[in-house]
Amino acid sequence: MAGDNNEINGRVSTREFYDALLKQNGRMDDMERRIISRLDEINNCMPEIKRDVAVNGKQIEINKEEIDSLRKKSDAWNAGNTIGMLLTAIATAFGIHQNGG
């Protein structure tokens, strides 16, 4: 009869409360184990990630050097083309001048 009275009043016994706490603690322990397991997986990947970052950093430096080299070559070609156009314009002007002007 006492158990019925607790249900009517919305109360739980000390034993029920204790069992509920044990169940909750078990779920929390399981969750903590899963979190720790995931953290261990991440930590095990860190050396590979660090290596990849280092390799990519070196490749970026190589690419920057190649870009700078290509930029210098492009500037030289642009200068050469500009000089060529000027010489062509001068030669054309002299040609026109000598032929009929």
- DSSP per-residue codes, 29-73: HHHHHHHHHHHHHHHHHHHHHHHHHHHHHHHHHHHHHHHHHHHHH
Per-residue pLDDT at 75: 87
Rounded to whole angstroms, how far apart are CA atoms 97 and 77? 30
Per-residue pLDDT at 1: 46
Q: Please state the pTM of the whole predicted model.
A: 0.42
Rounded to whole angstroms, how far apart are CA atoms 42 and 50? 12
pLDDT along the chain (101 residues), means of 10: 57 90 94 94 88 90 91 87 88 75 55
